[in-house]
């Protein structure tokens, strides 16, 4: 079953996908999903200015994948791509996964030696993502 | 099988409309008939009933109706739906046949015509044997019919005709051929429409009635068929709601069929048809979500129904078609007013269609790669006796076969082989590209730029596979910069490698070099062919890229050698700001400004990111002033040598990851003083001038497509910079200084100002400018500009004057700034300047000394123009203040003065200057309304005032009579000539004018003055004579009394009342006898004027002395 997690600030900060082959396709999927994220962000700003919901939900369904999005207040985008056939994951679980990711991402950002905008190279972050992928998929 | 095999049949995709056949019309030779036909078929707008008309000859053969089956018991259906069925009911079997016949009610040959008409009806009926098709007759008449009921002949004959033709009255129509043809036609066709609907209604009932004869085991196919037919008839009836219902039932039935390999295609084909119908109707009913849900269900159900593994490409082709046709439907609905959204638009379906088309291509590649010997099977298994299939979705070599196993395994093999061979010839790329470009168009519409780019990449790759490299390159090049600016290196890498292959195969040298440079460069994930550029410079054909089509490679190689042999084709300039090449460059001036007498220094930092060292042959910097370019050039000296020979110039070799610094120096031209020199570009030449070479051009001296982000990241980073060994630099710390200013040489002169501030208003203030040269050589052409610094308050310009001549006072003709006072070659000296400040306040004065001097820089003689500015802030203060007052002769302050009575004008000159002031002279110039009593001499002449000292003088004046009682008169001017008492410089005399105040002059009716000695002695008589002078033209009654006093005894009239005639004077003589010594108050004289009660005695007493000094007698 294929899955990918990506963190993106319009360019990739962190990418992890299982299995690793066909990674390019994931890249394209995530890249194209940013269209929807951007549209959603601009839409949210207009309609509900004070909305605190960072989880964007299912971005768009493709034949093979489900693409979920999440955006932090500093407009860093988290994208989770799940195989369409994976029905065990509900919206709530995806949401909590994003929250966990966000917490971990915040820890990375708090690291004084991390330079915002650089690709994330953190063992702690890696292990959190790994456990998440093992648990969820 | 043509590629169109997978296309949905047109009869399925069209909107079914009731079919009505018109007979008896001769549209070719009969104008009236032609007009009627045109009225039927032209201008069919949406508001007209949906009928498709067809003109058929009267004796047209309609499809024969098979004999009705009475029992289905032994009937085994051969397929789901016959291929001809839909077309039959759309175009062949009419719902209604209309016979047109020219017959007027009053036709003389009525009988004959009636029977002819009846015959014609009969012929039609015969040819429709067994069908429920209705027949109607339309009589074309020349006359306008009378209203119904009035024409008895007509109604009688009509019923007779109906009888003869065996028609109901409802099926006979009259069409008068008059002006309102279209109106009649519309009414006619509405009537036809009703007939047609009844026909289709009956058809539906007829099909429904079959149901009871069917059983579930053998007639499964018929369930589907009948539901489909009912749906189709409902559509013909324009009952789309019921049609949808029937189709939905048909759809669920089709999936209940027992599916196996032999009938899979048939099931899928029919499922596809029915799905198409359902989606179409859902869109028509404006329930797009239902359509989408149906389609999703359809795909989910059919996705896994691959069928025969050897013909897997058929499944993907079918899937692709499903998506495509749904996309078409969706798009059509949008054109009719449906609104789509970003995440739900036809683009996704086209994209998916393209995806399946790609799958198909891949599968076709795997399944159809037969050995060359295998040809198309000899008796074509795909050939059928009729040339077409009987049932949709069946195999031509076993039509009607419904059992699980194929009847003939050899035939089956041949058939599959035939299909595979056909598939091999399909132009898959074209299909894919068409679908992708559809999707691109949709995503463009729904604001998905990245999706669009992604699809364009796919298109480009598909063009590459289709060997249309030009188009591929164009598309890839178009999207590449999007990915580059978005910094998705992983995606860019894959695009670049495809583009590189394209450019290689096309022999596009420049593109090839550009892409390979970018691939080697930083950021990209793969380590690519490293010395591509270097090998490139050897004027050779590069190694072919891996995974290229061998035939294309051969062609490319000949292309390359052609290119190479062409002269002048071997020079390429690459503007790096659009790419991320493997060499980075930063150029900077050492300082933001350089003095003209020092060399301008320029550093160029170059760094290679590729994994191997790179040698370059030239580095040149172009500057905004191109004359300097020659100094900023680094060239490989070993020009003619082979590149492979180790160069002595290690300098020209870039080691990966290390920053190299190149320094340039040049002397700026004197004309460029005050100008900016900018780095317009830096060029780095790779390769040899003798062969092929590439210029990398950094516009502005630095930066490529990725630099700005990198600079930002570097600036954010607070990583400790590791100390690099000597001569090595941290790339990120190199800052950019792309322009410098050439400024004039530092002047070696001193300008000193000697003066005594503050300046005094109106004074010719002297400032001495001392210029001293500290130059080694003669300073020539010294020019001094002195004066008010420009840019200050405009009022200051008007109130400041500068002159070199201090002997005379400036006026307005003198400027506020004296420019370019030539001083010639410098003899160290002084220059006095005089400044005339009319107003107080501070002002900034500018002293600008310009000169030229010759200097030697780097062995070059240049004449430098130098200048030095000196500014000084000068405070101007008032030198003194003059206070003036009018006092009486008793030094009493006067509010007003009286005519002909003397008074004093007092001046107090209070020095405010910090420097001593010498008053040279003073003078009162009186106005005509004042006269001086004695010749006024200046009393302050030659007086020197220190700070805050005061000098006073007074003048005795009186006023001649004025016209009426009181008036205000001007007094005149007061001139003070003065100068600053200074040891520092000779100062000139300044004349300051003070305007004297106006004063009120008043006539007085009685003037009193006393005549008395200047002093008295104790106990000695002191005669006092009072004079009372009547100054009016009236006789005045005056009462006079003298008050007693302790200090005096006196004799004379103590109290008297007298008259004084006009203009005369009365004398009163008193003898005072002082009793005490010292200043004594005289006995007070009380005078009251009876005529002028407002003139008090007190006022008059002013004119009289009040006290006297009494001396002691011994």
| CB nearest to B713's CB, from A15, A31, A117 | A117
Q: pLDDT category, B889, cuts 50, 70, 90?
A: confident
Q: Do A32 and B447 touch (CB under 8 A)?
A: no
Q: pLDDT category, B535, cuts 50, 70, 90?
A: very low
Q: Do A31 and B716 touch (CB under 8 A)?
A: no
Q: Do B450 and A115 touch (CB under 8 A)?
A: no
Chain A contacts of B709, Cβ < 8 Å? Answer: 117
| Torsion B887-B891-B893-B896 (CA) sign | negative
Q: What is the 3-state secondary structure (H, E, C) of B549-616?
A: CHHHHHHHHHHHHHHHHCCCCCEEEEEHHHCCCCEEEEEEECCCEEECCCCEEEEEEEEECCCCCEEC
Q: Is the peptide bond before B758 cis (omega within 30 degrees of 0)?
A: yes
Q: Do A32 and B454 touch (CB under 8 A)?
A: yes
Distance CA B491, CA B468 (A): 22
On whether the CB atoms of residues A43 and A59 are closer than 8 A, the answer is: no
- pLDDT of B831 > 60? The answer is yes
Q: What is the mean predicted confidence (pLDDT) over B1057-1082?
A: 87
| CB nearest to B716's CB, from A34, A36, A117 | A117
The alpha carbon of residue B204 and the mean position of all alpha carbons in its chain are separated, in whole angstroms, by: 64
If one counts every other C-beta atom within 10 angstroms of the C-beta of residue B785, the result is 16
Distance CA B17, CA B247 (A): 17
Chain A contacts of B448, Cβ < 8 Å? Answer: 32, 35-36
Q: How far is B721 from chain A (nearest CA, A)?
A: 13
pLDDT of residue B576: 78
CA-based end-to-end distance of chain B: 168
pLDDT per position as a tens digit, B558-586: 777 777 676 566 677 778 777 777 788 88
Please list, residue by residue across B324-352, b when 16 or more beta carbons sit within 10 angstroms of its beta carbon and e when fewer do.
Answer: bbbbbbbbebbeeeeebebbbbbbbbbbb
Q: How far is B685 from chain A (nearest CA, A)?
A: 32
Q: What is the mean predicted confidence (pLDDT) over B86-96?
A: 88
pLDDT per position as a tens digit, B412-440: 888 888 888 888 888 888 888 888 898 88
Q: What is the mean predicted confidence (pLDDT) over B160-188?
A: 83
Task: Write the CB contacts of B295 (distance below 8 Å, at least 6 apart in sequence).
Answer: B275, B279, B322, B326
Backbone angles phi, psi at B895, to 5 degrees: -75, -35
pLDDT of residue B772: 77
- pLDDT of A30 > 60? The answer is yes
Candidates B857, B955, B836, B869; CA nearest to B904 is B955
Candidates B991, B1014, B985, B851; CA nearest to B921 is B991
The 8-class DSSP code of residue B363 comes to H
pLDDT of residue B526: 47
Task: Write the CB contacts of B614 (distance below 8 Å, at least 6 apart in sequence).
Answer: B533, B534, B582, B583, B608, B653, B654, B686
The reply to whether B488 touches chain A by the CB within 8 Å rule is yes
Chain B contacts of A57, Cβ < 8 Å? Answer: none
- pLDDT of B525 > 50? The answer is no
pLDDT of residue B537: 46
Q: What is the mean predicted confidence (pLDDT) over B1094-1114?
A: 79
Report ipTM for this prediction: 0.88
Please list, residue by residue across B627-647, b when 16 or more beta carbons sit within 10 angstroms of its beta carbon and e when fewer do.
Answer: ebeeebebebeeeeeebeeeb
Candidates B488, B523, B712; CA nearest to A15 is B488
**How many residues belong to chain B?**
1114
In percent, the amount of chain B with pLDDT more than 90 equals: 4
pLDDT of residue A44: 56
pLDDT of residue B964: 67
Chain A contacts of B449, Cβ < 8 Å? Answer: 35
Chain A contacts of B348, Cβ < 8 Å? Answer: 60, 62
pLDDT per position as a tens digit, B374-385: 777 777 777 777
pLDDT of residue B173: 86
| CB nearest to A115's CB, from B352, B449, B716 | B716
- pLDDT of A110 > 80? The answer is yes
Q: Do A35 and B487 touch (CB under 8 A)?
A: no
Task: Write the CB contacts of A45 (distance below 8 Å, at least 6 apart in sequence).
Answer: none
Which one is predicted more confidently, B40 or B725?
B40
Candidates B1022, B822, B845, B996; CA nearest to B923 is B996
| Torsion B231-B234-B238-B242 (CA) sign | negative
The alpha carbon of residue B1018 and the mean position of all alpha carbons in its chain are separated, in whole angstroms, by: 109
- pLDDT of B1 > 80? The answer is no
Chain B contacts of A24, Cβ < 8 Å? Answer: 490-491, 494
Residues of A with CB under 8 A from a CB of B: 10-12, 15, 23-24, 27-28, 31-32, 34-36, 39, 59-60, 62-63, 112-113, 115-118
pLDDT per position as a tens digit, B1071-1088: 888 888 888 888 888 888
pLDDT of residue B825: 64
CA-based end-to-end distance of chain A: 7
Q: What is the mean predicted confidence (pLDDT) over B964-969?
A: 72
Q: Do A63 and B352 touch (CB under 8 A)?
A: yes
pLDDT of residue B827: 59
| pTM (2 d.p.) | 0.69
> B594 is written with which tokens?
């350089």
pLDDT per position as a tens digit, A40-65: 877 655 555 445 678 888 887 777 78
Q: What is the mean predicted confidence (pLDDT) over A14-20?
A: 77
Q: Which of B302, B347, B458, B491 to mutate to test the interface with A (most CBs of A within 10 A)?
A: B491
pLDDT per position as a tens digit, B136-170: 888 888 877 777 667 777 788 888 888 888 888 78
Chain B contacts of A115, Cβ < 8 Å? Answer: 713, 716-719
Strand arrangement of the beta sheet that strand B1006-1011 belongs to: B1006-1011, B1022-1030, B1065-1074, B1048-1051
pLDDT per position as a tens digit, B31-79: 888 888 888 887 777 778 888 888 888 778 888 777 666 677 777 778 8
Q: Do B343 and A59 touch (CB under 8 A)?
A: yes
Write down the mean pLDDT value for chain B.
Answer: 80
pLDDT of residue B1081: 86
Identity of the highest mean pLDDT range in B795-799, B837-841, B1013-1017: B1013-1017
Q: pLDDT category, B220, cuts 50, 70, 90?
A: confident
On whether the CB atoms of residues B713 and B732 are closer than 8 A, the answer is: no
What are the beta bridge partners of residue B656?
B608
Q: Do B488 and A11 touch (CB under 8 A)?
A: yes
Distance CA A51, CA B689 (A): 64
| Torsion B435-B441-B442-B444 (CA) sign | positive
- pLDDT of B455 > 80? The answer is yes
The reply to whether B348 touches chain A by the CB within 8 Å rule is yes
On whether the CB atoms of residues B307 and B393 are closer than 8 A, the answer is: no
Distances (CA, A) of B1091 to B291, B925, B1006, B1104: 124, 39, 11, 21
On whether the CB atoms of residues B277 and B245 are closer than 8 A, the answer is: no
If one counts every other C-beta atom within 10 angstroms of the C-beta of residue B951, the result is 20
The 8-class DSSP code of residue B405 comes to S
Q: Do A27 and B491 touch (CB under 8 A)?
A: yes
Count CA atoms closer than 13 A to B1084's CA, side-chain side. 10
Q: Do A36 and B342 touch (CB under 8 A)?
A: yes
Q: How far is A13 from chain B (nearest CA, A)?
A: 10
| CB nearest to B449's CB, from A35, A115, A118 | A35
If one counts every other C-beta atom within 10 angstroms of the C-beta of residue B605, the result is 19
Q: Is the peptide bond before A19 cis (omega within 30 degrees of 0)?
A: yes
């Amino acid at each position: 079953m294929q899955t990918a997690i990506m963190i993106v600030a319009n360019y990739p900060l962190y990418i992890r996908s299982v299995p690793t082959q066909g990674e390019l396709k994931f890249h394209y999927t995530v890249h194209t999903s940013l269209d929807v994220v951007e549209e959603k962000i601009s839409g949210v700003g207009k309609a509900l200015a004070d909305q605190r919901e960072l989880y964007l939900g299912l971005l768009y369904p493709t034949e093979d994948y489900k693409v979920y999005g999440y955006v932090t207040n500093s407009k860093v985008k988290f994208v989770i791509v799940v195989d369409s056939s994976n029905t065990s994951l509900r919206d709530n679980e995806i949401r909590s996964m994003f929250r966990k990711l966000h917490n971990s991402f915040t820890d990375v950002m708090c690291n004084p030696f991390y330079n915002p905008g650089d690709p994330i190279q953190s063992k702690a972050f890696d292990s959190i993502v790994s456990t998440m992928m093992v648990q969820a998929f | 099988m043509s590629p169109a095999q997978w296309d949905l049949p047109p009869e399925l995709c069209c909107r079914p409309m009731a079919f009505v056949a018109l007979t008896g019309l001769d549209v070719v030779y009969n104008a009236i008939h032609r007009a009627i036909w045109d009225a039927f078929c032209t201008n069919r707008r949406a508001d007209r009933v949906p009928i498709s008309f067809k003109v058929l000859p009267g004796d047209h053969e309609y499809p024969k109706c098979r004999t009705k089956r009475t029992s289905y018991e032994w009937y085994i259906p051969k397929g789901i739906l016959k291929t001809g069925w839909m077309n039959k009911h759309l175009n062949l079997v009419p719902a209604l046949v209309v016979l047109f016949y020219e017959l007027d009610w009053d036709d003389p040959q009525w009988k004959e015509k009636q029977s002819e008409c009846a015959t014609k009806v009969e012929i039609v009926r015969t040819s429709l044997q067994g069908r429920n098709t209705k027949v109607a007759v339309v009589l074309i008449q020349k006359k306008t019919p009378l209203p119904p009921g009035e024409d008895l002949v007509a109604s009688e004959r009509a019923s007779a005709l109906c009888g003869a033709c065996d028609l109901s009255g409802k099926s006979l129509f009259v069409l008068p051929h008059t002006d309102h043809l279209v109106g009649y036609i519309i009414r006619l066709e509405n009537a036809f429409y009703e007939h047609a609907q009844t026909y289709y209604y009956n058809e539906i009932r007829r099909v429904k009635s079959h149901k009871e004869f069917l059983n579930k085991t053998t007639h499964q196919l018929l369930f589907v068929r009948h539901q489909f037919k009912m749906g189709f008839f409902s559509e013909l009836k324009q009952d789309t709601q019921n049609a949808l219902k029937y189709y939905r039932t048909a759809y669920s039935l089709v999936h209940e069929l027992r599916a196996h390999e032999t009938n899979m295609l048939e099931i899928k084909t029919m499922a596809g048809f029915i799905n198409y119908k359902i989606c179409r109707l859902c869109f028509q009913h404006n329930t797009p979500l239902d359509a989408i849900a149906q389609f999703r269900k359809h795909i989910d159900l059919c996705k896994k129904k691959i069928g025969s593994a050897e013909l897997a490409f058929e499944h993907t082709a079918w899937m692709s078609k499903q998506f495509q046709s749904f996309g078409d439907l969706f798009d059509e609905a949008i054109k009719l007013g449906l609104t789509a959204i970003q995440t739900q638009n036809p683009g996704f379906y086209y994209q998916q269609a393209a995806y399946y088309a790609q799958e198909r291509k891949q599968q076709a590649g795997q399944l159809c790669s037969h050995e060359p010997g295998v040809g198309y099977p000899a008796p074509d298994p795909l050939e059928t006796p009729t040339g077409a299939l009987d049932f949709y979705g069946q195999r031509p070599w076993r039509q009607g076969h419904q059992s699980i196993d194929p009847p003939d395994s050899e035939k089956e093999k041949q058939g599959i082989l035939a299909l595979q061979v056909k598939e091999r010839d399909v132009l898959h790329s074209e299909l894919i590209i068409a679908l992708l470009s559809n999707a691109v168009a949709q995503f463009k519409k729904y604001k998905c730029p990245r999706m669009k780019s992604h699809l364009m990449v796919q298109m480009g790759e598909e063009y590459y596979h289709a060997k249309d490299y030009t188009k591929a390159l164009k598309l890839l090049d178009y999207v590449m910069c999007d990915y580059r600016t978005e910094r998705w290196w992983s995606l860019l890498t894959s695009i670049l490698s495809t583009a590189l292959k394209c450019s290689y195969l096309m022999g596009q040298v420049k593109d090839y070099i550009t892409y390979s440079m970018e691939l080697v460069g930083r950021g990209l994930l793969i380590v690519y062919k490293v010395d591509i550029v270097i090998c490139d410079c050897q004027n050779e054909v590069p190694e072919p890229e891996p995974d290229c089509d061998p035939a294309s490679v051969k062609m490319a190689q000949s292309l390359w050698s052609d290119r190479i042999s062409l002269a002048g084709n071997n020079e390429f300039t690459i503007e790096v700001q659009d790419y991320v090449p493997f060499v980075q460059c930063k150029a900077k001036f050492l300082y933001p400004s350089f003095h003209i007498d020092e060399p301008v220094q320029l550093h160029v930092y170059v760094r290679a990111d590729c994994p191997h060292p790179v040698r370059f042959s030239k580095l040149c910097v172009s500057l905004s002033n191109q004359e300097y370019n020659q100094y900023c050039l680094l060239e490989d000296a070993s020009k003619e040598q082979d590149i492979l020979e180790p160069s002595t110039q290690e300098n020209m070799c870039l080691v990966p990851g290390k920053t190299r610094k190149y320094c340039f120096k040049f002397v700026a031209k004197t004309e460029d003083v005050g100008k900016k020199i900018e780095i317009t570009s830096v060029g780095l030449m790779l390769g040899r001038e003798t062969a092929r070479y590439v210029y990398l051009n950094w516009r502005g001296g630095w930066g490529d497509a990725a630099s700005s982000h990198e600079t930002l990241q570097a600036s954010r980073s607070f990583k400790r910079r590791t100390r690099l060994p000597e001569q090595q630099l941290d790339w990120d710390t190199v800052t950019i200084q792309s322009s410098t200013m050439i400024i004039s040489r530092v002047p070696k002169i001193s300008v000193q100002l000697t003066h005594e501030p503050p300046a005094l208003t109106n004074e010719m203030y002297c400032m001495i400018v001392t210029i001293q040269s500290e130059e080694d050589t003669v300073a020539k052409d010294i020019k001094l500009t002195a004066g008010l610094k420009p840019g200050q308050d405009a009022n200051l310009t008007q109130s400041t004057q500068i002159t070199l001549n201090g002997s005379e006072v400036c006026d307005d003709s003198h400027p506020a700034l004296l420019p370019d006072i030539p001083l010639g070659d410098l003899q160290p000296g002084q220059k006095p300047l005089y400044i005339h400040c009319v107003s107080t306040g501070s002002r900034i004065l500018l002293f600008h000394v310009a000169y030229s001097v010759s200097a030697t820089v780097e062995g070059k003689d240049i004449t430098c123009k130098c200048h030095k500015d000196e500014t000084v802030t000068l405070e101007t203060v008032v030198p003194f203040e003059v206070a003036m007052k009018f006092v009486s002769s008793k030094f009493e302050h006067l509010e007003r003065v009286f005519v002909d009575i003397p008074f004093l004008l007092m001046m107090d000159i209070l020095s405010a200057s910090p420097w001593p002031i010498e008053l040279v002279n003073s003078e009162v110039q009186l106005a005509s309304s004042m006269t001086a009593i004695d010749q006024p001499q200046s009393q302050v002449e030659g007086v020197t005032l220190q700070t805050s000292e005061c000098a006073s003088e007074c003048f005795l004046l009186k006023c001649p009579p004025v016209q009426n009682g009181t008036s205000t008169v001007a007094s005149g001017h007061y001139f003070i000539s003065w100068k600053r008492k200074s040891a520092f410089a000779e100062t000139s005399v300044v004349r300051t004018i003070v305007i004297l105040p106006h004063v009120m002059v008043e006539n007085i009716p009685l003037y009193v003055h006393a005549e008395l000695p200047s002093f008295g002695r104790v106990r000695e008589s002191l005669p006092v004579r009072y004079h009372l002078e009547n100054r009016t033209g009236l006789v005045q009654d005056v009462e006079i009394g003298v008050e007693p006093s302790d200090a005096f005894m006196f004799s004379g009239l103590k109290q008297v009342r007298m008259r004084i005639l006009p203009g005369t004077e009365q004398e009163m003589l008193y003898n005072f006898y002082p009793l005490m010594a010292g200043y004594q108050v005289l006995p007070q004289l009380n005078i009251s004027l009876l005529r002028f009660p407002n003139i008090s005695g007190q006022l008059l007493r002013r004119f009289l002395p009040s006290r006297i000094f009494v001396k002691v007698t011994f």
